[in-house]
Structure 1
Amino acid sequence: MTDKKHYEVIIIGGSYAGLSAAMALGRALRTVLIIDSGKPCNLQTPHSHNFITQDGETPNAIAKKAKNQVLKYDTVKFYDGLAVSGKKTSKGYLIKTEKDDEFTAKKLIFVTGLKDIMPNINGFTDCWGISILHCPYCHGYEVKNEKTGILANGNFAFHFAQLITNWTKDLTIFTNGKSTLTQEQIDRISNHNIPIIEKEITEIKHDNGYVEQIVFKDNSAFNLKAIYSRPAFEQHCKIPQTLGCELTEQGLIQVDMFQKTTADGIFACGDNASPLRAVSYAVATGNIAASIANNEMTIEEF
C-alpha cells in the first residue's frame, strides 16, 4: 500500500511483464507504482518452462523472487488492488481503484493479460494450465510421446496438428462437433495418421487436474494424458479501450515494435498485446515498454 498519489509511470498488472518493466524504470530512477490484483492467468499452472535460469520453477516462485528484487529499488511502490477506471488529464492519466484510491502518472503501462473463456465442458477449467495446455514450447517436453489430444477446430486444429507432431506421434484431434477443417487440411492430417473425432464432448475426467479421459455425449470415452487447446479470450482489463487503445482483429491491444499503443503515452505488453503467451516474451516486452517510456520522458523533460 502507498499514500503517494503521483508517479511518473503507473504499471497496471504486477506479473512478469509488469515486474520487468518496473525493474527497468526503477533502475532509471523513475517513480513507479505497480497496481496488481494478484490473479495471474497461470495461477494453477504447476511449473514454468522454457525460461532460461528458471526452467521448472513454479510461476508463483518466479513472480515472488522478481517482486522482491524489484521492490529493492526505492522509487518503485506496490499497490495491492484492482484498477477499475482511468481518464486522461492535462498532465497524463488518472487511475482509480476499486477502493476509490486515485493515482496519476505521465505514462501508463498495461500488463493486464487476457481472460480465457472456458468451454462448457465439465472438467476443462480444472485441467487448464495443468494437463490442458496452450503451448508446446512451455509444456510439451513434459508430455512428449504421450497419448495426446488436440481440442480445437478449423485452422487452429490444423496448426496444432502440424506443430505438436514434433513432440508426439500419438495424436488425435477432437473437434467437439462437426469439423470445420478444409478437405485439403483433412487430407494432410490423414497422411500423418492423425484421427479426427467429431463427437460432442460432455466431460473431461481427471485426477487433480491431470487428464484421464474425454467423455462424449454418446457416453463413449477416450483415454489420454494431455490435451492442447486454445479457448476464446477477452481482455482482462477494459481500461485501455476506454482510454483510446485500439484492439486488433484477434482482440489483442494493438502495439508497435516498441509496445506503444494507439493512445499517446500508453504502452501494453505481455499476453494482452501478443499471441505469444510465454513468460520469457512477457519479460522481454516489459523491458522494451519501460525503456521506451523512459526515453519519451527524457525527451519531454530535456
Structure 2
Amino acid sequence: METSIDVGIIGGGPAGLSAALLLGRAKRSVVVIDAEQPRNRVTRESHGFLTRDGIAPGELRRIAREQIGAYPSVAFVEDTAVSVTGADGEFTITTAQGGLYRCKKLLFAVGMKDLPLEIDGLADVYGKSAFVCPYCDGWELRDQPLVLIAKGPRALHMAQTISGWSRHFTICTNGPDEWSDEEREELRLHDVPVFSSPIQQIVSVDGMVQHVLLEDGTSIPCRGIFFVPLLVAGSELPKSLGCQTTDSGTIIVDPSGKTNVPGVFGAGDSATDKYQVVMAASLGSMAAAAINGELLAEDWNRGEPLLP
C-alpha cells in the first residue's frame, strides 16, 4: 500500500523528531521512518539540552514522540528505509517491511554509525565511563584521572579541550603517535604523560574503568576515558540519490539544510561533525522550516486560491 505525504523523514533521533514537530505544527503530513537503533542508546544520560540536562536518550525520544502526538498529520513507522527513488516533488521511499511512501520533500536525519570498538574492554565501558564528547560528559568526570585514547592532531586538540575539566590526564596513542616534532614538544611543555605502546586491555568493574593495561606491561589507573570514535555514515541512501558528502560520509548541506539535490535536505549528526543533541535538534528545526518554506512557495506559485 502506498501512502502520499508532504515530507518523508528518515531517522527518528533529535534532528528528525525536531523536524517532525515543526512540520506537524505547520499542518504538513509527515512520516518519520526509524528502526529504533540510535547510536546513543549505550549512553545513560544526555547533557547540555536546556530543560532536559541529564535525561536518558530513550526518555528524550519518548517525550518528544508523546508531544508530537498532538499533531495528527505526523506518523511514526518503526522500519528501515532501504531505497529512495524519484525527484523533487515525487520521491518514493521503500522500507524493509514493504512500505511505500510517496513524498514531495525528503529529510535525511540518519546520523552516523560507530565502527566496531577494536580495543579489548572498550565496549564494556562505552557510555558508562568512556565517552567521546567532553561537553556532554566532562562534568561528571571533572578533576578525575583520565586517559585520552587518540593520536595525530586530534589528540592535541582533545588534550587542550579536556584540560578545562581535568588537569590529570594521560594520552595513550595505541601505537605510533603520528605527531610532528612541534606537537610532541607542545605536549612535553605541558607535562602531559604520553604512552605509545598498544593497549592490551581496558580493565573495568560494572562498566567503570579501573585502569588501562598496555602491551609493554604499563598499567595506567584512571576513572574515565575519552576517545575518538571511528564513524561511518548512518545510511548510504543520501549518496544513492546523488547527495554530495565529505570523505567521512557527512552530508554536505547549506545553512538551511539543503543538499545539492533539489527537494532533499539533511540534518543532525549526518550533516555536521558537531555531535551534540541540542545541535541535532536545532538543525532539524532549521531544515524543517526550509522544507515548509519550499512547499509554501510552490503552493503560492501555482496560484491556488487561499479560500475554498
State how far apart, in whole Å, the 2-side matches of 1:90 and 1:271 are.
23
What residue number does 1:206 align with?
204
Structure 1 distance, partners of 2:101, 2:235, is 17
Residue of structure 2 equivalent to 1:246: 244
2-structure distance, mates of 1:224, 1:176: 16
Deviation at 1:90, TM superposition (A): 7.2
TM-score w.r.t. length of structure 2? 0.94
- Quote the residue 1:296 is aligned against: 294
SS at match of 2:32: strand
Distance 1:121 1:90, change over 3 A: closer
Q: 1:15 matched to which residue of 2?
A: 13
Alignment check: 8 A CA contact 2:89 2:105 kept: no
Matching of residues 19-98 of structure 1 within 5 Å: 19-89=17-87, 91-98=89-96
The aligned amino acid for 2:152 is G
> 1:1-302 to 2 correspondence within 5 Å?
5-89=3-87, 91-302=89-300
1:178, CA displacement in angstroms?
1.2
Unpaired runs of 5+ residues, structure 1, are none
The aligned counterpart of 2:306 is: none
What amino acid maps onto 1:230 in structure 2?
V
Give me the identity figure in percent: 35
SS at match of 1:43: helix
Are the equivalent residues in 2 in contact too, given 1:154–1:179 (CA < 8 A)? yes
TM-score, normalisation: structure 1: 0.96
| 8 Å CA contact retained: 2:88, 2:262 | no
With over 3 angstroms needed to count, the CA separation of the structure-2 counterparts of 1:64 and 1:208, relative to structure 1, is same
- d(CA) in 2 for partners of 1:81, 1:14: 11
SS at match of 1:285: helix
Deviation at 1:209, TM superposition (A): 2.1
Runs of at least 4 residues off by over 3 Å: none
| 1: CA distance, partners of 2:14 / 2:206 | 26
Maintained 8 Å contact 1:116/1:233 = yes
After TM superposition, give the deviation of residue 207 of structure 1 in Å.
Answer: 2.0
| Amino acid of the structure 2 residue aligned with 1:154 | G
- Distance in 2 (CA, whole Å) between partners of 1:194 and 1:286 is 39
Per-residue CA deviations over 1:98-124 (Å, capped at 9, x if unaligned) read 112111101111111101113411111
Rounded to whole Å, the distance in 1 between the matches of 2:88 and 2:162 is 51
- What is the distance in 2 between the residues matched to 1:130 and 1:259? 33
Instruction: Give the aligned residue type for 2:114.
Output: D
Quote how far apart the aligned CAs of 1:4 are. Answer: 6.2
Shift of residue 89 of structure 1? 4.7
Q: Distance in 1 between matches of 2:244 and 2:279?
A: 21
Q: How many pairs align?
A: 300
Do the aligned residues in 2 keep the contact of 1:118 with 1:231 (CA within 8 Å)? no
Distance 2:128 2:235 in 1: 24
Per-residue CA deviation, residues 120-145 of structure 1 (Å, 9 max, x unaligned), is: 11111222222221111111000000
Query: Do the aligned residues in 1 keep the contact of 2:10 with 2:34 (CA within 8 Å)?
Result: yes
Contact 2:2 2:99 in 1 (8 A): no
Q: Which amino acid aligns with 2:115?
A: I
Distance 1:134 1:187 in 2: 25
Contact 2:231 / 2:248 at 8 angstroms: preserved in 1? Answer: no
Shift of 1:33: 0.2
Task: Give ranges in structure 2 of 5+ residues lacking alignment.
Answer: 301-308
Over the aligned positions, Cα root-mean-square deviation in angstroms equals: 1.3
Letter in 1 for 2:32: I
Query: Compared with structure 1, are the counterparts of its residues 46 and 294 closer, same or farther at alpha carbon in structure 2 (3 Å cutoff)?
Result: same
- For residue 218 of structure 1, report the CA deviation from its aligned partner: 3.0
